[in-house]
Structure 1
C-alpha cells in the first residue's frame, strides 16, 4: 500500500523547535492510501496526526496563527517534487523544502537538510477516494 499526506485538507495545528529542527504538527493530516499513486489513483482517505520534522530548519514565511487549514502546497527533496503531498513514511536527507498555502491565503515556507515523519495515535477512516480525473 502506498501512502501520502495530502496537504490540501490537512490542518497545521502548530509547530515547535527541537534544537535546530522544526516539528510541524499536522493534526489531523489527510492521508491517502492506494495500491497506485496516493491522491491520484483510487484508494481511501484517513485522518492521522503526523509530525513532519525538518532538520536544521530555516523558516522563510509562516502563517499568522495556528491552527490553520491548508489549501495547497508541495514538498521537495533535491530535484524530486511532490505536488500537494508528502510521502509516508518519510526519512530523507538532502535539501528539503516545504511550501504551503493556507485557506486564508497565507504562506508557509520551510527549508532544511532533511526530514522525517512521526505518526501519532491510530488512523481513522474518513472516506473512499475514487481517483482524480487529473491523474
Structure 2
C-alpha cells in the first residue's frame, strides 16, 4: 500500500496552532491596537459548549466577535474558553479548535478558513472559495487564506 503525506491535515494542524498561539498572547497581554477577531465555529461539534438558547438560535454554526468586551479567556491545547456579551447578557463558551471554520482579523486583512468535503456542498457559505469553479478535482481538508472582501465596510 502506497503511503502519502496528508498535507491538508498537516496544514490544518499548523493553522490551529497559529490560532492557539495568537489567543495565548491575547490572553496574556490583551488585544493590541485595532486587532479583533471574527471566529466562526460549528455549534454541532460534540465538544463545543454554549448556552442552549444560543445553540437553538445557531443550530449549525455561529460567528462570534472578540473585540471590545470579552472576559475569562482561557486557552488550552484543544480549544479556548471565553465569556462574550450577547444582548447585554454575558455567556460563557468553549470553542474547540477542531470546530473552527474561519478565523479572521480584519484589522490586518488576515484570515484562515478550514474546509472539509462537507463544506463543498454548503450553499450558504458566506466566504467564496478561491478556486476555479471549473476544477473537478475533489477537495479534502483543503486549507486556504480567506478573501476578506465580504468583511470590508462599504
Output the TM-score relative to the length of structure 2. Answer: 0.29
Select the structure with the greater relative contact order (CA < 8 A; seq sep ≥ 6): 1
